[in-house]
Amino acid sequence: MSPGEVVAVGGHESDGGRALRGLLGPRVSCVSGGRELFRRVSALRARGEPVCVVPMTLGRDPELVADAARTLLALSAEDRAGTVLAEPFGTADHLIGWLRAAASRVAADKALLVTAPSGAPFVDADLFRIARLVRQYGRHRTVEVALIGGDPDPAEGVRRCRALGERRVVLLPAAWVTPRVPDPEHCEPGGPLLAAPAVAGVLDARVREAWERHDRLGDDGLSRGLRAAHDHGHAHTHGPGGHTHGPPHTDESHGSHGPHGPHTHVHGTHHDPRTHPHGPDGAAASHRGHRAPDGPPPPHHRADAVAHRGADPHLLPSHRSPR
């Protein structure tokens, strides 16, 4: 482990960090976000310790990263000078690889039920894409999804696997939380996803990379962290009342966000990859305002013709098996 203190911050994937405590070494503090993270980092910095904060998401909680960055911005300048925010523990691509490795240890004649705590609608939908890719490159005929605290829940997931003719179902966690076995006669646990030595190895790599960036570039990771959840997912999807897509704009044409309400700025059909950072209260950084476009107005685009980046054909509704 790199010098200094390490603070692992958990979100809904780990039940606020509680599911992590048996996997982390004695030198790693485990907290939930917000005030608990703020108090822990402040106490460590008061002792003069450098601190690295690692968001313990497996790729399904980008908001955890942004929340951690906003919390660290609330530290005093002196405390921030000795604090870095690491890259997330894992990404969705890492999660697919870890699930495939876990699936390879399960007999091919058993069904897989990929489980995770329910989160935002997009991350729940993305779990179906992840499960589809696990099946695509694996050897199991049936790979279903269940959401702990959501729909379908693990009991319903097992029922669906049984309805497809499967005799035995293995619960494969795609999170730090592992569900209880709903039907021991027909299913069994397949977790945890990662063993403690593997967790320690990945965590050490994230901490080392964070301090190397800080020492080489003066990068504390906060600006990157603030942008983590800006696009709300790969396809930039919005529910009712979300912001709309309008005429093209430059990277200077953003307005500001309120701390809790919907976005009030207008996006063009193409996004500048340099998204604007959010401050500790959720507000966007100030820009010079909107500039009227030169020349005639752009042609009108039908709402259903806007092409979103990253749209994935493998997202399936919850009532279908991802295969």
> What distance in Å separates the CA atoms of residue 156 and residue 189, rounded to the nearest whole number?
16
Looking at residue 248, its pLDDT comes to 41
Residue-wise pLDDT for 223-261, tens only, equals: 999 998 775 454 444 444 444 444 444 444 344 343 344
Cis peptide before 152, with omega less than 30 degrees from 0?
yes
Looking at residue 191, its pLDDT comes to 85
List, in sequence order, the alpha helices (H) in the chain.
Answer: 35-46, 62-73, 77-80, 92-103, 121-136, 154-163, 196-217, 222-227
Looking at residue 2, its pLDDT comes to 61
Q: In which residue are the tokens 């939380």 written?
A: 177
> What distance in Å separates the CA atoms of residue 83 and residue 68, rounded to the nearest whole number?
12
Q: How buried is residue 271: exposed, middle or buried, by Cβ count under 10 Å (0-12/13-18/19+)?
A: middle
The answer to whether the beta carbons of residues 111 and 168 sit under 8 Å apart is yes
Q: What is the DSSP letter of 291?
A: -
pLDDT digits (tens), the chain, 323 positions: 467 999 999 999 999 999 998 999 998 999 999 999 999 999 999 999 999 999 999 999 999 999 999 999 999 999 999 999 999 999 999 999 999 999 999 999 999 999 999 999 998 999 999 999 999 999 999 999 999 999 999 999 999 999 999 999 999 999 999 999 999 999 999 989 999 999 999 999 999 999 999 999 999 999 999 998 775 454 444 444 444 444 444 444 344 343 344 443 434 334 443 444 444 444 444 433 344 444 444 444 444 433 433 334 333 333 344 44
* CATH class label, 5-91+195-227: alpha beta
Q: What residues does each domain of the chain span?
A: 5-91+195-227, 92-189, 241-307
Q: Please give the backbone phi and psi of residue 71, each rounded to the nearest 5 degrees, phi first.
A: -65, -45
* pTM given for the model: 0.72
Residues in the chain: 323
Q: Which CATH number fits domain 92-189: 3.40.50.1400, 3.30.365.10, 3.40.50.12780, 3.40.50.720?
A: 3.40.50.1400
Residues 6 or more apart whose Cβ sits within 8 Å of residue 202: 89, 90, 194
Cis peptide before 192, with omega less than 30 degrees from 0?
yes
The answer to whether the beta carbons of residues 148 and 174 sit under 8 Å apart is no
